[in-house]
């Protein structure tokens, strides 16, 4: 039997990475962070000095952009390479974060990455997180989850994350950035952030990571 695909979508900072990684570990399935892939392309675009608005130029450069993801220990974040460069840290920089939604809106970029994402899931046995896992990339996923949290709570969580990586950013700035990224991701014409009709929504403001993980696991069919 095919192992299940679990699709986890939601806005920035809803806790997707931590939860997805733990669900994957508990079930012994592969973990796929598709946000890291969009970030990797964005890092490459910036590194090559291509203006982030220049869709035609970006589309051409995709041919020379090879992305590789590899789980690392217990960390919710994969190790990520673009060609021979390790970009695990670099793709979390405020610069990449500020530009990624612009790059992720381009059809050529989405086609390029969605194809790779579907290859990861071709044999099933995957927990994938992103914005369009349940709606576009894995519409037949066995379990679809939509994680949400208030902007305030997500900004607070992002701030803790960033502090651990040595970045200091104010809460109000993070709230503004998150709200802007939500707006960009939800209103783009292609694959906007959207809850799939058959997704289970989990509002995580008052839940612990363990609570969320066990709720998700309770929806996974055993066998």
Binding site for ligand C5P (CB under 6 A): 12, 34-35, 38-39, 100-101, 104, 130-132, 181, 185
Q: How far is the CB of 68 from ligand C5P (least distance, A)?
A: 17
In sequence order, the 6+-apart residues with CB closer than 8 A to the CB of 214 are none
Q: How far is the CB of 38 from ligand C5P (least distance, A)?
A: 4
Whether the CB-CB separation of 82 and 43 falls below 8 Å is answered with: yes
Q: By three-state DSSP, how is residue 146 classified?
A: strand
Nearer to ligand C5P, 132 or 175 (CB): 132
Q: How far is the CB of 144 from ligand C5P (least distance, A)?
A: 13
Nearer to ligand C5P, 28 or 32 (CB): 32
- Token pair for 120: 């990861």
What is the Cα 189 distance to its own chain's centre?
Answer: 18
Whether the CB-CB separation of 148 and 14 falls below 8 Å is answered with: yes
Q: What is the dihedral of CA 139, 143, 3, 112, to 10 degrees?
A: 40
Nearer to ligand C5P, 64 or 118 (CB): 118
Q: What does residue 74 show for φ and ψ, rounded to 5 degrees?
A: -95, 0
Beta-strand pair 124-130/3-9: parallel
Count the helix, strand and coil residues of the chain and give each as a percent rounded to the nearest 5.
Answer: 50, 15, 35
Q: How far is the CB of 223 from ligand C5P (least distance, A)?
A: 29
Nearer to ligand C5P, 113 or 213 (CB): 113
Nearer to ligand C5P, 121 or 130 (CB): 130
Q: How far is the CB of 59 from ligand C5P (least distance, A)?
A: 16
């Amino acid at each position: 039997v095919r192992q299940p695909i679990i699709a986890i979508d939601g806005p920035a900072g809803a806790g997707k990475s931590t939860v997805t990684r733990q669900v994957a570990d508990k079930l012994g399935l592969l973990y796929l962070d598709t946000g890291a892939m969009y970030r990797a392309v964005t890092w490459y675009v910036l590194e090559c000095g291509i203006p982030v608005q220049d869709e035609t130029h970006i589309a051409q450069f995709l041919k020379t952009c090879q992305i590789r993801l590899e789980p690392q220990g217990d960390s919710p974040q994969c190790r990520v390479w673009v060609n021979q460069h390790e970009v695990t840290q670099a793709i979390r920089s405020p610069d990449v974060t500020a530009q990624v939604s612009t790059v992720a809106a381009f059809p050529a970029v989405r086609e390029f990455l969605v194809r790779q994402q579907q290859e990861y899931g071709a044999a099933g046995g995957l927990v994938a997180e992103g914005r369009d896992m349940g709606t576009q990339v894995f519409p037949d996923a066995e379990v679809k989850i939509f994680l949400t949290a208030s902007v305030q709570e997500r900004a607070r969580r992002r701030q803790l994350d960033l502090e651990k990586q040595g970045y200091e950013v104010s809460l109000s700035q993070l709230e503004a950035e998150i709200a802007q990224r939500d707006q960009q991701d939800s209103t783009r014409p292609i694959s906007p952030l959207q809850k799939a009709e058959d997704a289970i929504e989990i509002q995580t403001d008052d839940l612990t990571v363990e609570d969320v993980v066990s709720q998700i696991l309770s929806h996974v069919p055993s066998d």
